[in-house]
Amino acid sequence: MGKFAARLHVILARNELTGIVIRRGPSKSVCTILWDRKTDEFKLGQWLRGRIYERRSDLSPDGKHFIYFAMNGKWESETKGAWTAISKTPYLKAISLYAKGDCWNGGGLFSTDKKFWLNDGHGHTTLKESPKFQRDMQFKQEYHQGECLGVYYPCLLRDGWIYQKKASLEKIHIFEKPLSDGWMLRKIAHAQINAPVGKGCYWDEHELKHSRSEKLIKCPDWEWADLDKNRLVWATRGQLWAGFLKRDGIQNQKCLHDFNEMKFEPIVAPY
């Protein structure tokens, strides 16, 4: 079996032109990278020997803080092997830290720059809390699910995706986002056991559909895609790409960065 490309997931800040790239590979190594969307420059944050559950993670609206759920399996440690943390983007060093001890629920969403909803479920143990942040006890999460989808789907809806339908008896849900020049970006979100080789149990594929011409462009290798101001951005085969939609399709396609050759390195957060 050949080497798998790095797996990428991106979270865009809502009020600033920044984002965070969560890069995974090999399976037990993950790092976070700051994306300056004004210049398309990238800055490495930190690596973790373990797993970050990207679909249970979020950026504050100003892009300055990152909430994430992680697991390293060290069940006898202070964090109990799985934890939720808030850090300074793009680093992983926690300024607020909540031990979980299992992989049910966990993670959360920012409702404002200073308020966050903790996906508590079976409960966290508070290890430390920054006075900068306050838990949002009024936040209403309408999609109740114990794992990734209870954070991921509300995040999609908040960020302008429109829920269309459940595609079949299987756990396949379709979201759409209007783009420019009559195009629609469709996200086909899968949740399944025995996923295809190289995919986790939660994975996405994408399509582009033109509302007037009914032209359909299938993009099964795009593991993440979204609208960045007036351009389309997507992740595929360990690379982040951008392009502009015209009636005939995607024009001026450009690879912004190739993350495949990155390797684990110990980095100390500057705080």
What pLDDT score does 1 carry?
Answer: 47
* pTM for the structure as a whole: 0.94
What pLDDT score does 214 carry?
Answer: 81
Confidence of residue 130 (pLDDT cuts 50, 70, 90): very high
Q: What is the mean pLDDT of residues 51-74?
A: 97
Residue partners of 97: CB distance under 8 A and separation at least 6: 79, 83, 84, 85, 86, 126, 127, 128
Q: In this model, does residue 192 exceed pLDDT 80?
A: no
Residue extents of the structural domains in the chain: 7-258
Confidence of residue 121 (pLDDT cuts 50, 70, 90): confident
What pLDDT score does 169 carry?
Answer: 56
- CA 90 to chain centroid, in Å, comes to 13
What pLDDT score does 145 carry?
Answer: 63
What pLDDT score does 142 carry?
Answer: 66
